Amino acid sequence: MNIYQPQLATVTDLIDETIDTRTLRLEFLDEAVRESFDFKAGQFGEYSVFGAGESTFCIASPPTREGYIECSFKAVGKVTTALREVNRGDTVGFRGPYGNWFPVDEWKGKDIVFVAGGIGLAPVRCVIWNVLDRRDEFGDVTIVYGARSVDDLVYKRELEEWSSRPDITMVTTVDPGGETKDWTGDVGYVTPVVEKTAPKADNAVAVLCGPPIVVKLTLPVLGKLGFADEAIFTTLENRMKCGLGKCGRCNIGPVYVCKDGPVFTAAQLKQLPPEF
Amino acid sequence: MTDATDKGAADTGVAQRYFIGEDDLRTLTGDLLAAGTEVIAPVAIDICQSPSAIAASACTRPGVAPVEIEYRRLASATELDLGRGLPELSLKGYFLPEHEALCRWHQHGTTVEVEPVPTEFAPRVVLAAKPCDSAALAVVDQVMNWDYHDELWNGRRAATTIINLACPVIDEGCFCTAVGAAPDDVKGADGLLTPVDGGYILEVTTEKGRALATAHEARLSADVPADTLGRQADDERAAVRARVAGNLEIDAASVRDWIDTHFEDPLLASLANRCNGCGACTSVCPTCHCFDIVDEEEGVGHGTRRRLWDTCQSPTFTLHASGHNPRDDQNVRYRQRINHKFSIYPLKFGEVLCTGCGRCTRVCHAGQDLIEILSEIDIAARRPRETEAGTPAEAGAAS
């Protein structure tokens, strides 16, 4: 088996989340692959448009929804621009799942706090739905999500659904100046909004993903709220090509993000050299 | 012979010795070629005859030898160069080609057909390989088989029988013994030729090596008197080891641990002051294996997905789509190269990602000298422990 040869998948649905961000739903062409494909929340893959190349994103749909996978991406480079051009029924390539995952099974009985900024909600969304699909197994669920502006919020329909659920504390915020006249959510950066929301840290874990600046600033705030470094999980998204620990570009010191990650605890992050 | 288990190119420790005359070695090469076996070996190329204007221009420069050694697929046995010079490029390209197809695609409307590439290869032989080049393959075997097996790499490795030629040591830029290799190493190879009076002693150490010797028994003599030819070979092997040993002596374990714990040390940050990031060092390096994957369209609706050599010295190597770059200046990119070779890789796989061939130093137009750099790190690694705990030997043992 040539590990670099992709599986083929059909685009069965697509949603434009924002002006430049899109979600694709993919179903594997090969029935055997469709049946046997399995992954865990937090794993990633190499998605490709033939002729444009491969790009790395997490799987944004939860493993509890079988038969398809979803990815969300911002059209900024060659491959993501090409992925944004595909239509329903088109064929794309996928290699994966790769990397480690969020230890969701170990969180049974705990409260879970999700913090995401911008497109950083994509990997977190996979975990959110994974937890919601097994809602009884977990305690309180809090979601704090922020984006630059109302237009930049992704998964808008899901944000509404989560807001309306009585079993979720949902806070949506936009950066100052990013609000619209009819905006009813918070206004402010993610970090101070997390501090204000003040989810309790007893018997809780936090899942954090966003631009480097959001992660960097939010880690100490979660610490101040009482979250131990071992109870804070994040996912790193370094540039990758192979996803298999061979091509040599995603490492941070001795850690290969593709093999040892992409999921790390804050305690593990603190052990890494400051090169991410 | 048949019950010996052959684990890839693993050295079984039992070396079968033969004598082969120089003429017989050429005849054996001719036999291989006549049988249709691909033979890769050093070839001396007159660069004045090169179609490349840049290469040809070098032959008019004073002090530049008009001959360049390269590993080439032999067209005839007369091309085989046994002068023991160092090929400009290592054997790497014969196992991880500069660019190679990973798969091909054909688009028909909305459907795509992916055409696999073969991962099995015809048997081939490398003759007179540099021990540092074969050892490099064994080192890279580790990452190529880290959980996921790279079938393209493994396929070429399995199909290739490699016979080294003991290296006379090229110049003061060689340091194989400092990084766990040796000028008479069979690591990564299946046998070793050592020059003696009138020819070579051939030692075969693996199943593949023994198979090659058995198939060409007519050209070999199993009669190797231990007190004459055998001793000559042993003496030559000891001599080349002694010749290279003085070029660099470091405590690789201390170097590994020091780099791992001194990521932000000013020494590591200043190592690249002369480097301008051209990436020539990674290109000529037998162990640098980082690659890129790109799609190459070859017409409307079809093309090839390829992997290409890449270099950690390029700013785009780690550049995120967002514009953020974790390694945004040349100092940190150079630190990465040193860190990967002498700390990350040994910590992960137990081996230094370097076999001391010295090509990076020889090719560098800015004068980056790996021997100088490793010496500096070695001194830094010993210094604090010397003050605290006494001798450098203790420092090494403590790591």
Are B295 and A246 an interchain contact pair (Cβ–Cβ within 8 Å)?
no
Q: Is residue B339 part of a domain?
A: yes
Q: How far is A81 from chain B (nearest CA, A)?
A: 11
> Are residue B200 and residue B345 in the same domain, yes or no?
no
Rounded mean pLDDT, A112-117 = 96
> Are residue B289 and residue B161 in the same domain, yes or no?
no
Nearby residues of B61 by Cβ (< 8 Å), 6 or more positions away: none
Q: Is residue B107 part of a domain?
A: no
pLDDT over 90 percentage in chain A:
92
> Are residue B311 and residue B382 in the same domain, yes or no?
yes
> Number of structural domains, chain B?
2
Q: Is residue B96 part of a domain?
A: no
Q: Edge-to-edge strand order for the sheet containing A263-265?
A: A186-187, A168-174, A141-147, A111-117, A204-209, A232-235, A263-265
Checking DSSP bridges between strand A186-187 and strand A255-256, what pairing results, if any? unpaired
Question: Coil, helix or strand for A126?
Answer: helix
Contact B166, B194 (CB under 8 A): yes
> Are residue B84 and residue B152 in the same domain, yes or no?
yes
Query: What pLDDT score does B10 carry?
Result: 47
* pLDDT tens-digit readout, A233-262: 999 988 999 999 999 989 898 899 999 999
Lowest pLDDT segment from A107-111, B5-9, B277-281: B5-9
What letter represents residue B264's amino acid? E
Is the pLDDT at A4 greater than 80? The verdict is yes
The band of B14, judged by pLDDT with boundaries at 50, 70 and 90, is low
Beta bridge partners of B201: B19, B194
Q: Which of A13, A131, A115 is nearest to A64 (CA)?
A: A131
Query: What pLDDT score does B396 carry?
Result: 41
Instruction: Give A-chain residues touching B282 at CB under 8 angstroms.
Output: none
Domain containing B319 equals 252-398
> Are residue B215 and residue B271 in the same domain, yes or no?
no
Assessment of whether the complete model's pTM goes beyond 0.80: yes
> Are residue B265 and residue B388 in the same domain, yes or no?
yes
Rounded mean pLDDT, B155-181 = 95
Nearby residues of A234 by Cβ (< 8 Å), 6 or more positions away: A207, A208, A209, A215, A263, A264, A265, A266, A269
Mean pLDDT of chain A, nearest integer? 95
> Are residue B215 and residue B321 in the same domain, yes or no?
no
* H or E element, residue A215: helix A212-224
Query: What pLDDT score does B5 carry?
Result: 39
Which residue, of B198, B222, B245, is where some domain finishes?
Answer: B245
* pLDDT tens-digit readout, A11-45: 999 999 999 999 999 999 999 999 999 999 999 99
Q: Is residue B8 part of a domain?
A: no
Which residue, of B229, B245, B261, is where some domain finishes?
Answer: B245
* pLDDT tens-digit readout, B262-272: 998 999 888 88
Is the pLDDT at B231 greater than 60? The verdict is yes
Is the pLDDT at B6 greater than 60? The verdict is no
Query: What pLDDT score does B8 carry?
Result: 43
Angle between helices A190-197 and A212-224 (to 10 degrees): 20
Are A93 and B114 an interchain contact pair (Cβ–Cβ within 8 Å)?
yes
Report the distance separating Cα B178 and Cα B252, nearest Å: 8
* pLDDT tens-digit readout, B367-388: 999 999 999 999 999 875 555 4
Cα separation values, B36 from A52, B63, B398, Å: 39, 40, 54
> Are residue B212 and residue B288 in the same domain, yes or no?
no
Q: Which of B18, B28, B9 is nearest to B82 (CA)?
A: B28
Q: Is residue B330 part of a domain?
A: yes
Which domains, from first to last, does chain A contain?
Answer: 7-98 (2.40.30.10), 104-235 (3.40.50.80)
Is the pLDDT at B48 greater than 80? The verdict is no
The phi, psi pair for B19, rounded to 5°, reads -105, 140
Report the distance separating Cα A103 and Cα A263, nearest Å: 9
Rounded mean pLDDT, B342-370 = 95
Is the pLDDT at B398 greater than 80? The verdict is no
Q: State the residue for tokens 């014969």.
A: B94
> Are residue B239 and residue B256 in the same domain, yes or no?
no
Question: Which residue of chain A is at minimal alpha-carbon distance from B151?
Answer: A2
The band of A92, judged by pLDDT with boundaries at 50, 70 and 90, is very high
> Are residue B264 and residue B288 in the same domain, yes or no?
yes
B317: nearest CB among A8, A89, A249: A249
Mean pLDDT of chain B, nearest integer? 89
**Mutating which of B121, B148, B287, B316 best tests the A interface, going by the most A Cβ atoms within 10 A?**
B148
Q: Is residue B28 part of a domain?
A: yes
Q: Which of A185, A266, A272, A172 is nearest to A221 (CA)?
A: A266
Is the pLDDT at B12 greater than 70? The verdict is no
Q: Which of B44, B174, B178, B191 is nearest to B128 (CA)?
A: B191
Q: Is residue B266 part of a domain?
A: yes
Rounded mean pLDDT, A95-113 = 97
Instruction: Give B-chain residues touching A89 at CB under 8 angstroms.
Output: 110
Is the pLDDT at B2 greater than 60? The verdict is no
Q: Is residue B306 part of a domain?
A: yes
* pLDDT tens-digit readout, B274-325: 899 999 999 999 999 999 999 999 999 999 999 999 999 999 999 988 888 9
> Are residue B190 and residue B154 in the same domain, yes or no?
yes
> Are residue B189 and residue B156 in the same domain, yes or no?
yes
Are B149 and A3 an interchain contact pair (Cβ–Cβ within 8 Å)?
yes
Contact A147, A122 (CB under 8 A): no
* pLDDT tens-digit readout, B64-79: 667 889 999 999 999 9
Q: Which of B134, B97, B144 is nearest to B348 (CA)?
A: B144
Rg (CA), chain A: 18
Q: Edge-to-edge strand order for the sheet containing B67-73?
A: B16-21, B199-204, B191-196, B160-165, B124-129, B38-46, B67-73
Which residue, of B176, B210, B245, is where some domain finishes?
Answer: B245
Q: Edge-to-edge strand order for the sheet containing B302-309?
A: B111-116, B99-108, B302-309, B291-297
DSSP class of residue A33 equals: H
Query: What pLDDT score does B13 carry?
Result: 54
